[in-house]
Structure 1
Amino acid sequence: MIDSQDVLVVWIAAAVAMFLAWLLQLATRNAGLVDAVWASCLSASALFYAGSGHGGIVARAAVAVLGGFWGCRLCLHILARVLTEHEDGRYRHLRERWRGNPFKFFLLFQAQAVAVVLFSLPLHAAAQGPAEVMTPAVAAGIVIWIISLCGETLADYQLARFRRDLRNRGKTCRSGLWRYSRHPNYFFEWLHWFAYIFIAAGAYNAALAWLGPLLMLAALRWISGIPHTEAQALRTRGEDYRAYQRETSMFVPWFPRRGRT
């Protein structure tokens, strides 16, 4: 079901990239770089699989454009924060807890290289999709991707605008999409992975495309996303964030439990 040679190439390239990023964070003491490198590696894997895949030209082009652009946008968004702000609170907390142990950070970075491989498998499956011309399935995937990209970009913009206002220091963003979900950026990030299920339709390894939304939901809901983000928010915003938790849907956008503006 998997072209093991191509996947091995992605793993080696991701491991090398993460090793270099780990060396850089030793100097900068900003481990947030790992997230930017993770996104850039996925972007590169989309381009690689599109070039090496055996699917139809439309399916491979969709993987190259959609996967490549998505990862590049996310990388640049995270990199802008890494270069202009202090280390993300989640990683500061780990640095304190691990007492700056460089080996533990090395393992963290290499674990992200493994995550690159796992999350690249839906892209690999989509690059084997049979579509030689635009099909309803590919069109549906593109529509899902556009909606997801617009939603995630808007959520990122709204949060960045809120954080730039010094009057909001210590407060929780409740405007725009953040009124309906505590993590709208994560929701649209998760939704985006459904695009590759449609593009992979008819491929011999199409089932692998389901790993995208399943792995992303697990990562965001229980592993590295929401738990760490909310723990950091509670440390820095306390009761204001507890009220936000009581009033606002955690993941899927929905109306607040009581009216807020």
Structure 2
Amino acid sequence: MGLVGVTLCAALAVVVVLGITFAVALRVGRQAVIDVTWGLGFVAIALTAFVVTGGQADPLRRWLALLLTAAWGLRLATHIRLRSRGKGEDPRYEAMLARASGNPKAYALLHIYLPQGVIMWFVSLPVQVAMLVGGGLPWVMWLGVAVWAVGFVFESVGDLQLTRFRDDPSNKGKVLDTGLWRYTRHPNYFGDACVWTGLFLVAASAWPGVLTILSPAVMVWNLYGGTGKKLLEKDIGDRRPEYADYVRRTSGFFPLPPKRTR
């Protein structure tokens, strides 16, 4: 199967996953279930592309693309599921649906599911292409695995440290500034960016994988200036004035030694 066929199959996988998610969301009355599906959708895309391409390309690159995507997606889905257990609707979706004009279900499909589905499909293009290419530069592929590993550690450890911090009642109202959070205000977002940069390098190690450069760029932009860091910090800053001091001394994205403040 060629690239067009693979991308169409990947798009179909996105539609199926988000369709099931929407049905579940209507049943439980919470659109926030799509946050759990975010990671699972990438796993479904990688598995679909792996299956439909058969053995027509480099087996090692194919398995790496599948396993690295699955490890990231399953961990993220599990983490978000545990974090949201027992909670109500996400305030972001409540605010969006409050602005809905007309049918709220149609509004949710158009403004929540459609954008996330398009981004999911576009960001995963390196994984789709990696299932088709052969040869290339092995050292670039292994560099991609190393960058992915750095990102996976940052994201996993950062999420674990934040969970433990929030679970301790004595930390209520405080700002986490230890561990990885001492060096970057968003170790999980930085890790996510590294994961998708690494997967891009796995694909870019052989032509035409390098042409998917815009996919990780979109993910990094979204994490840094879109709905990730920028939106989250605005919300925290509005609710917790002490966060401003943490912002002054801690890198916003890339891990750096903390600044000295008076």
TM-score over 0.5 (shorter chain): yes
TM-score (structure 1 length as normaliser): 0.87
Alpha-carbon distance in 2 for matches of 1:179, 1:160: 16
2:234 to 223, 231, 235: 231
Matched, 1:26 2:33: no
Q: Displacement, 1:63?
A: 0.8
Show the 5 A alignment for 1:65-144.
65-98=67-100, 101-107=104-110, 108-131=112-135, 135-144=138-147
Tell me the alpha carbon deviations over residues 29-84 of structure 1, each in whole angstroms, 9 at most, x when there is no partner: 43322122121010121122223343211111111111122111111111222224
Amino acid corresponding to residue 256 of structure 1 in structure 2? P
Q: CA separation of 1:233/1:200 partners in 2, compared to 1, >3 Å: closer, same or farther?
A: same
Alpha-carbon distance in 1 for matches of 2:158, 2:90: 18
Amino acid corresponding to residue 242 of structure 1 in structure 2? A
How many residues align? The count is 257
Alpha-carbon distance in 1 for matches of 2:60, 2:51: 12
Q: Displacement, 1:169?
A: 2.2
**Secondary structure of 1:44's partner?**
helix
Aligned equivalent of 1:60: 62
Contact 2:127–2:200, Cα closer than 8 Å, also in 1: no
Amino acid corresponding to residue 77 of structure 2 in structure 1? C
Contact 1:121–1:211, Cα closer than 8 Å, also in 2: no
C-alpha root-mean-square deviation of aligned residues, in Å?
2.5
Alpha-carbon distance in 1 for matches of 2:207, 2:232: 38
Amino acid corresponding to residue 173 of structure 1 in structure 2? L
**Secondary structure of 1:258's partner?**
coil
Unaligned ranges ≥5, structure 2: none
Amino acid corresponding to residue 129 of structure 1 in structure 2? V
Identity of aligned residues (%): 29
Contact 2:204–2:211, Cα closer than 8 Å, also in 1: no
Alpha-carbon distance in 2 for matches of 1:28, 1:136: 47
Contact 1:129–1:201, Cα closer than 8 Å, also in 2: no
Amino acid corresponding to residue 60 of structure 2 in structure 1? V
Q: CA separation of 1:225/1:209 partners in 2, compared to 1, >3 Å: closer, same or farther?
A: same
Alpha-carbon distance in 1 for matches of 2:234, 2:36: 22
Instruction: Kindly report structure 1 stretches of 4+ aligned residues shifted beyond 4 Å.
Output: 95-100
Aligned equivalent of 1:40: 40
Q: CA separation of 1:51/1:27 partners in 2, compared to 1, >3 Å: closer, same or farther?
A: closer
Unaligned ranges ≥5, structure 1: none
Aligned equivalent of 2:209: 206
Q: Displacement, 1:18?
A: 1.6
TM-score (structure 2 length as normaliser): 0.87
